[in-house]
Homo-oligomer: A and B are copies of this chain.
Amino acid sequence: MKQMNEGRFFEDFRLGETIVHATPRTLSEGDSAVYQALYGTRHLLQSSRPHAEKCGFKDRPIDDWLVFHIVFGKTVPDISRHAIANLGYAEGVFHAPVFAGDTLSAVSEIIGVRQNANAKSGIVMVRSTGHNQHDETILRYVRWVMVLKRAPDSPAPETHMPVLDKVVSAEKLHAPRGDFNQWDMAAAGSTRAFDDFKIGERMVHGGGMTLEEAEHMLATRLYQNTAQVHFDALAQRDTRFEKRLIYGGHMISHARAMSFNGFENACLIAALNGGKHVAPAFAGDTVYGWSEILDKAEIANRKDVGALRLRHVLVKNCGIEALVDCQPDDPAVILDLDCWVWMVRS
């Protein structure tokens, strides 16, 4: 019997190669509703059409992380089918909003390869771009993954690993469309605005969330992400973890939803500076979140929004009380995400 679509092993990636990923995907209000049910997000701009219109948008923009997951999902069959680990993200910039009815496509360029010392695997670094049906860039980010080799004795490619920006500098952010001068803080749930946040401040978001198999699988299939580790419990039995791994992006979306408490006026995501899935999450785990304000940046000619650089940390199974003293190197940490968000100014 024929095995279909094996996907690329480490030695199949060529530096500089561009891969156009399959299956463009039209997003609808239905996708947003399923996403709502999965994470319980409450940010005003994505929740209320009249308020989005008041800010100059034609409709509620689709949640930025839903957009990210859709783009990410397209890259999986080509990039990470034989990945052992998703190692990191960098230089992620959100360019333009997406609305119900838009169609997303994705393309990736191979920008780095390095074989591991054991010759059994190697690291592949790609820059992926999502664009809409008008070929407008929506999102661009770098990720790197550890990918199995097909054969340990196949020759190692020449090592090339670009040096990436640790942080997207504020000048490289794409200022958000729309005008937030008419933003309704009461409707958004808080008057905490850009000027109220201090660098170094940390806040606990409250709200533990226990994870379920059905939920992370619904999410991952919604994103057309086909990575088998999320779906096949039988195959996972023989692995180190012995159970299905939850797609890391599922945790990013939970972190964003939790961060509503404290960042009610963080209307959009501006950039993904970096992120680490420090440890895997499994069904049955209960996750909690806290955030730290890493930096702030005003944007030229915009008095309505500023950029807030946040570290979102998710921990698991520790109980919410433990968060008061939680540090990023706590063994309970599962996600350490560094991003810029657009925060409304008073």
Q: What is the interface of chain A, defined by CB distance below 8 A to chain B?
A: 1-5, 20, 22-26, 28-34, 36-40, 42-44, 47-51, 60, 77, 100-101, 103, 105, 133, 186-190, 201-210, 212-215, 217-222, 224-226, 228, 231-235, 244, 261-262, 264, 286, 290, 317, 319-320, 323-326
Report the Cα distance A208→B48, complex, angstroms.
36
The reply to whether A36 and B31 form a contact with Cβ atoms under 8 Å apart is: yes
Number of this chain's copies in the assembly equals: 3
Question: Taking the nearest CB of chain B, how far is it from the CB of A103, in angstroms?
Answer: 5
- The SS class assigned to the A binding surface is mixed
The reply to whether B189 and A208 form a contact with Cβ atoms under 8 Å apart is: no
Question: Taking the nearest CB of chain B, how far is it from the CB of A327, in angstroms?
Answer: 10
Question: Taking the nearest CB of chain B, how far is it from the CB of A78, in angstroms?
Answer: 10
Report the Cα distance A47→B319, complex, angstroms.
41
Question: Taking the nearest CB of chain B, how far is it from the CB of A332, in angstroms?
Answer: 12
- Selected from B31, B217, B220, B290, the residue in CB contact (under 8 A) with A215 is B217
Question: Taking the nearest CB of chain B, how far is it from the CB of A81, in angstroms?
Answer: 9
Contacts of A232 in B (CB 8 A): 207-210, 286, 320
The reply to whether A1 and B190 form a contact with Cβ atoms under 8 Å apart is: no
Report the Cα distance A201→B145, complex, angstroms.
35
The reply to whether B4 and A23 form a contact with Cβ atoms under 8 Å apart is: no
Given contacts A1-B203, A49-B101, A208-B235, 19 further A-B contacts (CB under 8 A): A1-B204, A3-B206, A4-B206, A4-B261, A5-B261, A22-B188, A22-B189, A24-B187, A26-B49, A30-B30, A30-B34, A33-B33, A36-B224, A50-B133, A105-B187, A206-B228, A210-B231, A210-B232, A232-B286
